[in-house]
Amino acid sequence: MKPKHQRLVLLVIALAVLIGAGLLAAWALRNQASYFYVPSDIASDPPETGRAIRLGGMVQQGSIQREADGVTMNFTVGDGAATVPVRFTGIAPDLFVEGSGVVAEGSLAPDGTFVATNLLAKHDENYMPRELQDMSDAQAKQVVAEAE
């Protein structure tokens, strides 16, 4: 076999290995990816039960109910078009209140309840840390720039 043919065979083998590794990585990430849904997405095209997803929306007013164990709570997340009942067991973040934004990680149960394993509370765009409230805009920007 000529050296030119040997290089061509090595190149084909290297490309096959790279494509195989890429396909394996994509297949592995497909099982680990969690997609983001809003309540209207779940109402129109619900994901299969047990699949890890993220649910985002607003916590409905008057919907938070704690169970007797003190760590399990039920609440409703809505987006103005649909609502999804959510069940969470654990310690909720400090910013988690009715009427605030929330991103819940978990999966949909067969009864249509979203079982959350993690809650991420969101604050509005006007949020200002206490440390920066008494500063002028220029001082606050300087502190933020120094922290980055």
Q: 127 among the known binding-site residues? A: yes
Q: 37 among the known binding-site residues? A: no
Say whether 7 sits in a helix, a strand or coil.
helix
**Cβ neighbours of residue 65 under 8 Å, at least 6 residues apart?**
73, 74, 75
Among the listed residues 80, 30, 37, the one whose alpha carbon sits nearest the alpha carbon of residue 56: 37
**Cβ neighbours of residue 27 under 8 Å, at least 6 residues apart?**
none
Among the listed residues 67, 31, 64, 55, the one whose alpha carbon sits nearest the alpha carbon of residue 108: 55
Say whether 1 sits in a helix, a strand or coil.
coil
Q: How far apart (Å, rounded) are the C-alpha atoms in residues 54 and 43?
A: 14
Known binding residues for heme: 123, 127
Known binding residues: 123, 127
